[in-house]
Structure 1
């Protein structure tokens, strides 16, 4: 259980951010509906009635498509910025377990993200009843989906913050995880095709259709293709949200906190991650080198450049400690 004093402390410390995000998420969908309605009214004034229709179609996303960004901002504010400022050190010095502190942050943030979008959904439903648009497509599916996706994004960035010691590391780690399935599967497959001339990617596509593999990549949910596909796809980001929460909970509870400013709080991550970054640099620049000249020479030169770039990026980001703000 989380102590009420800890809840109050987290609320007061992030009150402005929490209120701004709450208001943004609650109002963005009703305002989008009103914007479409005013556009329709403008059409009625300027054109014949037959050429104007008032329809709401969520398959194209609209303003709500950026809801996930609120999860990123909130997670950075709760962990990354607090850690960089040193205020998280004060929180950790209070007579609470680290698991309690993480849960207080996480569930307060999750409550703000969920309740605000739920209220926005109810207001939007009321507006739709009052304004009576000609058609409303994918409304319930999209709103529920954005709630899940926003929560997944928040859980991912919170987990990244629990693993890392500064804001830059938190964002870079979250972004890397968001595209990790592509890096692990597609990038090596492309390089195998270059070296051996075998169509590996086509075999992967046969084994795993895009509808399955594509939605295992968190960044895919920034788009809106999932809206017109099966509603059961939303089970994937829901499951990923729980995994990210557990990773964040375990990391925040078990990893040391004295390495503030370091890329990773757990020093054992430094060398393996550096090797992985160099490997991805070699594979990525090797592919671009081959694409530029369609030759093995260009491929080898690209791999050499990638090794150097990967080493420099990993060295200066992982082994150089940042100062408090």
Structure 2
């Protein structure tokens, strides 16, 4: 249960953030409908132009496709900014449990994101019924989809914020998760081809077919940044909804169990430092090896790239994971 006192405290502390975010999300969808209608009216008033038609197409996306950016901003302000400024310590000293604090933060921000977009969806539906466009394409699918995707992005950033000690770590962790499946599959496959002249597709035909399907794209959060999901079946959104729920659970457990004493460190949980460092170095080695080979087309260049990648990976992890960031 969310305590009313804590809910009021969080609302007052981030009141302008919530209000501005809510207004932006509410207005975005109706504004698109009105903007298309204004363009149609301008066409009618221009006697030179012919074949004017008022249509609404969401098939290729629009500025609304970036509604998830608002989710990122809210999550960063609720978690990463407080970690960086050190105000999270004061909040944790209040007579509330860690679980209550996370639930209040998470669901207050989620309510602003989901309810605001739902109101905008309703307002846009009302405008469409009043203005009566001749054709409307993918309006419901796109509008509902952006609510689900925005929630997924918000849950991902909140989980990253619960794992890390400052804004940069939160953003970098979230971004890494969005592209990690591509790195874990694509880089090893590219290195196998360079070293052994082995095409993964030739060795594992099923694997190649799976990679080529759109389904693999939608199993990664970054796949929803682009507009391809709009032209897919509705069940694709269940995947993003499930990922959002998983990120929520990760964030909740992390906030509940991990210590806050490492505030300012990249990861609050010390046991993550070494495995992540090894993973980053491995990705850096594989990535620089392939890049160097593509430039030099020689094994000497590949080996040089591997060495450079190892050094760069070590330096990156040393100055991010093992160096504490001071409070703002």
Alignment TM-score, normalising by the size of structure 2: 0.97
Distance 1:161 1:60 in 2: 32
Question: Structure 1 residues 157 and 104, CA, compared in 2 at 3 Å: closer, same or farther?
Answer: same
1:285 and 2:291 aligned: no
Which of the residues 249, 266, 269 maps onto 2:269?
A: 266
Aligned length in residues: 325
SS in 2 for 1:244: helix
CA–CA distance in 1 between the matches of 2:298 and 2:51? 56
Q: Normalising to structure 1: TM-score of the pair? A: 0.97
Q: Deviations over 1:143-177 (max 9, x none)?
A: 11000000000000000000000000000000000
CA deviations on 1:55-108 (whole Å, 9 max, x unpaired) are 111011112011000110000000110111111111100111101100000010
1:29-58 residue CA offsets vs partner (Å, 9 max, x unmatched) = 111111111111112222456421211110
RMSD (Å), alpha carbons: 1.2
**Aligned position for 1:115:** 115
Q: Distance in 2 between matches of 1:168 and 1:293?
A: 34
Q: Give, in whole Å, the separation in 2 of the partners of 1:47 and 1:285.
A: 59
- Which sections of structure 1, spanning at least 5 residues, go unmatched? none
**Within 1, Cα distance between the matches of 2:201 and 2:287?**
16
C-alpha distance in 1, partners of 2:32/2:201?
A: 40
Counterparts of 2:217 and 2:201, CA distance in 1: 13
Match for residue 306 of structure 2 among 303, 306, 315: 303
How far 1:212 moved relative to its partner? 1.6
Match of 2:244 among 241, 250, 265: 241
**Map of 1:184 onto structure 2:** 184
- Partner residue, 2:102: 102
> How far apart are the structure 1 equivalents of 2:172 and 2:49?
51
More helix per residue:
1
Partners in 2 of 1:120 and 1:205 — Cα distance? Answer: 41
By how many angstroms is 1:186 displaced? 1.4
- Aligned equivalent of 1:73: 73
CA displacement at 1:207 relative to structure 2? 3.7
What does 1:1-325 correspond to in 2, within 5 Å? 1-48=1-48, 50-201=50-201, 203=205, 204-325=207-328
Cα separation, 2, equivalents of 1:48 and 1:231: 41
Contact 1:186 1:201 in 2 (8 A): no
Instruction: Write the distance in 1 (CA, Å) between the matches of 2:144 and 2:96.
Output: 35
- Sort the Cα spacing of 1:221 and 1:173 in 2 relative to 1 into closer, same or farther, 3 A: same
Kindly provide the CA deviation profile for residues 186-228 of structure 1, in whole angstroms up to 9, marking residues without a partner as x: 1111111111111114632224542221111101101110111
